[in-house]
Chain A
Amino acid sequence: MMRDDLIEIAYLVAAFCFILGLRWLSSPRTARKGNLVAALGMLIAIVATLVDGRVVGYMWIAIAAFVGGSIGALVARRVQMTAMPQLVALLNGLGGGAAALIAISEYHVAGAAGEERLGAVIAVSVMFSTIVGSISFAGSLVAFGKLQELLPGRPITWPAQKLINGLGAVVVLGLAAYASFNIYDPLLWLAAVLALLLGVSAVLPIGGADMPVVIAFLNACTGLAAAATGFALGNSLLIIAGVLVGASGTLLTQLMSKAMNRSVASVLFGAFGGGGGSGSGVSASGEALPVFEISASDLAAQLVYARRVMIVPGYGLAVAQAQHPVRELADLLIERGVTVAFAIHPVAGRMPGHMNVLLAEADLPYDQLLEMEEANPDFPQTDIVLVIGANDVVNPAARDDENSPLYGMPILEVDNAENVIVFKRSMASGFAGVENMLFHDPKTRMLFGDARKSLTQLVQDVQAV
């Protein structure tokens, strides 16, 4: 039929827009355009679907789309850049929930149409979409709760957790298998509800530090659930878009877990991160280790006469809202002829690339930001490294101490620089609860206090030098 062909062509154009949009995300210069092209593709896809012959009622679509769209726009405009991981988790959950609901509806529609059972392909995709979509919905909401600090960030565990989750997964799969051989069976609802519980109990034991991996993983789940919905509806665009997202989420999951030196499995199934850990600066033999302090005015003088300064920002910088003062400091030093660069660890922040967004918000030009691989060879030629609100990602134990839980994690090797200055509120340990010997290194000086206040003071002192 003529109209159906046109719709298919519109879907093809939409898929092309999505791919082009992602392609343009490979450079910050074209990235914004890429996002707009992807959005245009989405608009084309939605319009094409609205003229589909099967769609006859528009009232509910209009109301639901208006309500959902307005809330989405409102939240997206208001959200703070530091809260980006929460928003991504939330939106991701909504997508997963939508995929599950569509699959459940398909199941009911087939039943109402008097079919005795679903075809094998449709049955498998409906079940996959229902289960994975539900897990993604509930898991994302728990991740949202943890990141928004509505739930405790530490791992929440209970006895025989893995066993219970494993049994739950088996029961869900059994119910889904049963439902796919029957039609219009309310047991699918039970499977969906259990899948929701499974999503909750799978993410609760994961600590706040591992959230970047979890969000990327759930992103992949929602993508695959959307692709499965495409199989159930026989819709090519849903398959393409879903798989694109699935690929992206999978790549990011691997990348993040590599940067944290954890296997994906150990993040998802082993509670860790944000655990206890006193970190009181005590050596193995129990004696207190030395800590050397520096004042802002002394540091200001050193900085002005340095040739190369590298700044290592961690999430603590964002927590202290110190992005603007740090940019001011960098600008001042550059004016004085000092070479200043920022070294960004892949897991600085609460999601992949988060720190770059936070610094971009403070008007820091992106060509001043170095990735870990670019920054590490530079440290031996660097006079002063300023470590601001970062801890585990500069911990030399990850390289040197085989007994450290961090061992093997790629780090920014700041201890290769001439001098290291650590901005820190107190001597508390990092997210992983691991002692950091960098703080006791003879070439390290500590600048205690709130990062924002310290940096503001430092800016004034540099101006005075």
Chain B
Amino acid sequence: MSLITELVILVLAAWVGIEVISKVPQMLHTPLMSGTNAIHGVVIVGAILVLGAAAGGTVETICGIVAVAFGAANVVGGFVVTDRMLQMFRRRPEPPKENEG
């Protein structure tokens, strides 16, 4: 990939990111943080590439193992905890009935 292509991707992604994230209400900022946290766990992709490559020497293997483990914990932990939080957000079930005596 050329540097220009990468920079185009960078700028467009930043733009989309700002647009999309500025619409997230304050109420959901904690799940937003833990969710984006899980998304940056995508470094696990890089870690897999490093660890899985044939030419891996000792340094790469050790770095790669730790990086994959970190990335996996980051991804799984992030998505699981975000789901736990979001399932708690509920609306008022039914409009309260006016049957007070």
> A49-B49, A55-B52 given as contacts; is B43 within 8 A of A99 (CB)?
yes
8 Å CB contact of A101 from B52, B70, B92, B96: B70
For chain B, the count of residues having a C-beta within 8 Å of the partner chain is: 84
Cβ-defined contact, A98 with B30, below 8 A: no
> A31-B86, A42-B39, A104-B63 given as contacts; is B92 within 8 A of A121 (CB)?
no
Provide the bound-state CA to CA distance between A108 and B83, in Å: 38
Contacts of A289 in B (CB 8 A): none
Cβ-defined contact, B44 with A98, below 8 A: yes
Contacts of A351 in B (CB 8 A): 29-30, 33
Cβ-defined contact, A356 with B41, below 8 A: no
Contacts of B56 in A (CB 8 A): 57
> A105-B60, A357-B30 given as contacts; is B43 within 8 A of A229 (CB)?
yes
User: How many residue pairs, one in A and one in B, have C-beta atoms under 8 Å apart?
Assistant: 386
* B41 CB to nearest chain A CB (Å): 6
Cβ-defined contact, B70 with A97, below 8 A: yes
Contacts of A234 in B (CB 8 A): 1, 6
* B29 CB to nearest chain A CB (Å): 3
Contacts of B45 in A (CB 8 A): 45-46, 49, 235, 237-238
Q: For residue A133, which residue of chain B has the nearest CB?
A: B43
Interface string of B73-93 (1 = CB under 8 A from A): 111111111111111111111
* A382 CB to nearest chain B CB (Å): 20
Q: Is the interface of A mostly helix, strand, loop or mixed?
A: helix
Cβ-defined contact, B16 with A60, below 8 A: no
Contacts of A42 in B (CB 8 A): 38-39, 41-42, 75, 79
Provide the bound-state CA to CA distance between A27 and B6, in Å: 31
Cβ-defined contact, B70 with A245, below 8 A: no
Interface string of A100-112 (1 = CB under 8 A from B): 0110111011001
Contacts of B88 in A (CB 8 A): 357, 360-361, 363
For chain A, the count of residues having a C-beta within 8 Å of the partner chain is: 121
* B19 CB to nearest chain A CB (Å): 9
Cβ-defined contact, A367 with B68, below 8 A: no
Cβ-defined contact, B79 with A38, below 8 A: yes
Provide the bound-state CA to CA distance between A15 and B17, in Å: 11
Q: For residue A345, which residue of chain B has the nearest CB?
A: B26
Provide the bound-state CA to CA distance between A95 and B37, in Å: 8
Most chain B beta-carbon contacts within 10 A, residue among A45, A65, A84, A354: A65
* B88 CB to nearest chain A CB (Å): 4
Contacts of B69 in A (CB 8 A): 64-65, 67-68
Which of A196-204, A216-224, A260-268, A402-410 touches B?
Answer: A216-224
> A84-B30, A99-B43 given as contacts; is B51 within 8 A of A64 (CB)?
yes
Provide the bound-state CA to CA distance between A246 and B42, in Å: 13
Contacts of A50 in B (CB 8 A): 48, 52
Cβ-defined contact, A238 with B72, below 8 A: no
Cβ-defined contact, A216 with B33, below 8 A: yes
Provide the bound-state CA to CA distance between A251 and B19, in Å: 10
Cβ-defined contact, B54 with A57, below 8 A: yes
Provide the bound-state CA to CA distance between A14 and B18, in Å: 19
8 Å CB contact of B26 from A52, A121, A360, A371: A371
Cβ-defined contact, B57 with A55, below 8 A: no
Q: Which of B1-36 contact A (CB under 8 A)?
A: 1, 3, 6, 9-10, 13-14, 16-18, 20-36
8 Å CB contact of B31 from A77, A105, A247, A353: A353
Contacts of A346 in B (CB 8 A): 26
Cβ-defined contact, A95 with B71, below 8 A: yes
Q: Which of A268-314 contact B (CB under 8 A)?
A: none
Cβ-defined contact, A35 with B43, below 8 A: no
Contact sample, A vs B, 30 pairs, CB 8 Å cutoff = A21-B35, A22-B35, A23-B20, A25-B28, A25-B32, A35-B82, A52-B49, A65-B44, A65-B68, A68-B76, A76-B84, A88-B30, A88-B37, A95-B70, A98-B67, A98-B71, A101-B70, A112-B55, A112-B60, A222-B37, A235-B49, A245-B39, A248-B36, A251-B21, A251-B22, A336-B100, A352-B32, A353-B26, A353-B29, A371-B26
Binding site for A on B (CB under 8 A): 1, 3, 6, 9-10, 13-14, 16-18, 20-57, 59-61, 63-93, 96, 100
Question: Closest 7 interchain pairs by CB?
Answer: A353-B29, A55-B52, A247-B17, A72-B77, A68-B72, A68-B69, A72-B73
Q: Given contacts A22-B21, A22-B39, A75-B77, list 17 more A-B pairs with CB under 8 A.
A: A25-B31, A52-B52, A58-B52, A64-B51, A76-B80, A77-B84, A84-B85, A98-B70, A101-B64, A113-B55, A219-B40, A238-B46, A242-B42, A243-B17, A245-B39, A344-B27, A360-B89
